[in-house]
């Protein structure tokens, strides 16, 4: 069997639960190197044993003393230091995860071409564990055909290359190429580490996820809305990125930090959500509608704040029905073979149980999979945990027990992958 840098192999194992997971943090020579200190802190404080391998360029930004003090391990950049221990082999062989943040254009090129001219690139060649690259560079460098080809090569070999964020770069420049926030890189690393030897099985797939709750304004101050926090949608986006997907997250009034490696489109109303979802669906292999769009909107929106009257009579508000986005994209099927997933926040009542209402919704919407949440008493909303039943018209229900929203997200992606053609 041919082995390539960064590729998980059948022999690779999940981290030993009897010891601290071993992480190699590679840091290459970009201005964003200082942000790796925050990533290192999060890794060590969450119980990981981290060895930092900076490049010579990285030491121009953050010194070896800082890395040694924060990690508790000595720092070297070359293969000659402590040569008797063969560090360029040992570090890669013993690691449960290698993450390079920031990964410059030069580092990505050297990794893609199998260079072994310093300790970090040697370690990448000997690693048989999951490898994550968090690129950071100017937009022109990220978009250059050479970098595009290098990223594609690394992904084909099984590495997770996170899409850089958009924002302020070095100097006055703004664009795509910014290192994602360390907290979000940490979440990707934790997810990849948890999956162990499992390959990034969504590589080459484009998935669209909606999150949050829409708002329909009555006047400049008041709106009709709901309690959706967007946490489940963010978990779906983050886990998809960790599994290698190109992710478009359409966020409706979400205040959470943007997940690393994800394109975020911000919307407010159901009409805006509909337009963004339809546009993104044209190239999507899967669409997961985790957002909670308002079912109704006011027929008219007041241009000024609606005032109380002297007799304190409440104004009458006429409502109209909003577009049914899930039914529309399920019916149109812009891309053949795309998997459409809906969410149903249900409560039981005199007319039926939660699952009975959900089965009726599944048939009505025409989607491939429906994630059913029992929200009786306000359960699920804003929580870091979730539980659900996954309904499909052609299979038995899948019960996902209570756990983190990331666990439910992975269960959903597993079902999606079994249906993508």
How many other C-beta atoms lie within 10 A of the C-beta of residue 396? 8
Cα 174 versus chain centre, distance = 22
Round to whole Å and give the CA distance between 46 and 194.
Answer: 13
Largest CA distance in the chain: 89
Which residues have a Cβ under 8 Å from the Cβ of 139 and sit 6 or more positions away?
169, 173, 175, 176, 177
* Residues facing residue 372 across a β-bridge: 344, 389
Grouping H, G, I as helix, E, B as strand and the rest as coil, residue 141 is helix
Round to whole Å and give the CA distance between 271 and 275.
Answer: 6
Catalytic annotation present for 226? yes
Contact call for residues 158 and 200 (beta carbons, < 8 A): yes
- In order, the DSSP letters of 106-140 are HHHHHHHTT--SSHHHHHHHH--S-EEEEE---HH
Which two tokens mark 320?
A: 């109209």
Instruction: Scan for tokens 């079902």, then name that residue.
Output: 415
Which residues have a Cβ under 8 Å from the Cβ of 404 and sit 6 or more positions away?
235, 384, 385, 386
Round to whole Å and give the CA distance between 108 and 168.
Answer: 21
* Residues facing residue 238 across a β-bridge: none
Which of 226, 253, 322, 386 is the catalytic position? 226
Round to whole Å and give the CA distance between 220 and 294.
Answer: 18
How many CA atoms lie less than 13 Å away from 322 in the CB half-sphere? 23
Q: Are strands 369-374 and 165-168 parallel, antiparallel or unpaired?
A: unpaired
Which two tokens mark 83?
A: 């040569």
Round to whole Å and give the CA distance between 362 and 327.
Answer: 10
Grouping H, G, I as helix, E, B as strand and the rest as coil, residue 365 is helix
The catalytic residue positions are 226
């Amino acid at each position: 069997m041919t082995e390539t840098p960064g590729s998980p192999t059948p022999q690779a194992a999940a981290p030993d639960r009897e010891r601290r997971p071993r992480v190699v943090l590679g840091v290459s020579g970009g201005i964003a190197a200082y942000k790796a200190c925050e990533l290192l802190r999060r890794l060590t404080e969450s119980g990981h044993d981290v060895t930092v391998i900076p490049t010579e360029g990285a030491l121009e930004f953050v010194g070896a003393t800082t890395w040694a003090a924060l990690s508790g391990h000595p720092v070297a950049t070359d293969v000659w230091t402590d040569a008797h221990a063969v560090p360029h082999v040992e570090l890669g062989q013993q690691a449960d995860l290698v993450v390079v943040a920031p990964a410059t254009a030069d580092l990505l090129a050297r990794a893609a071409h199998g260079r072994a001219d310093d300790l970090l690139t040697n370690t990448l060649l000997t690693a048989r564990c999951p490898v994550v690259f968090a690129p950071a560079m100017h937009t022109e460098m990220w978009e250059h055909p050479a970098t595009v080809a290098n990223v594609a090569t690394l992904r084909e070999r099984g590495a997770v290359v996170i899409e850089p964020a958009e924002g302020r770069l070095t100097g006055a420049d703004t664009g795509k190429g910014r290192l994602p926030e360390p907290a979000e890189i940490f979440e990707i690393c934790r997810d990849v580490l948890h999956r162990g030897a499992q390959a990034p099985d969504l590589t080459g797939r484009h998935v669209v996820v909606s999150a949050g709750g829409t708002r329909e304004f009555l006047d400049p101050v008041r709106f009709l809305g709901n309690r959706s926090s967007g946490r489940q949608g963010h978990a779906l986006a983050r886990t998809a990125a960790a599994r290698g997907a190109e992710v478009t997250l359409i966020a409706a009034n979400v205040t959470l930090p943007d997940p690393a490696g994800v394109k975020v489109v911000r919307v407010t109303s159901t009409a805006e959500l509909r337009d963004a979802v339809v546009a993104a669906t044209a190239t999507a292999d899967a669409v997961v509608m985790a957002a909670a769009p308002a079912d109704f909107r006011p027929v008219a929106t007041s241009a000024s704040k609606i005032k109380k009257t002297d007799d304190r009579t409440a104004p009458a508000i006429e409502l109209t029905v909003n577009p049914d986005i899930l039914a529309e994209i399920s019916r149109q099927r812009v891309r053949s073979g795309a998997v459409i997933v809906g969410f149903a926040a249900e409560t039981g009542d005199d007319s039926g149980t939660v699952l009975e209402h959900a089965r009726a919704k599944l048939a009505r919407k025409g989607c491939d999979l429906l994630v059913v949440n029992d929200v009786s008493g306000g359960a699920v909303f804003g929580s870091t945990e979730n539980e659900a039943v996954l309904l499909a018209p052609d299979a038995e229900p899948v019960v996902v027990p209570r756990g983190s929203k990331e666990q439910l997200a992975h269960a959903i992606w597993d079902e999606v992958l079994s249906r993508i053609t």
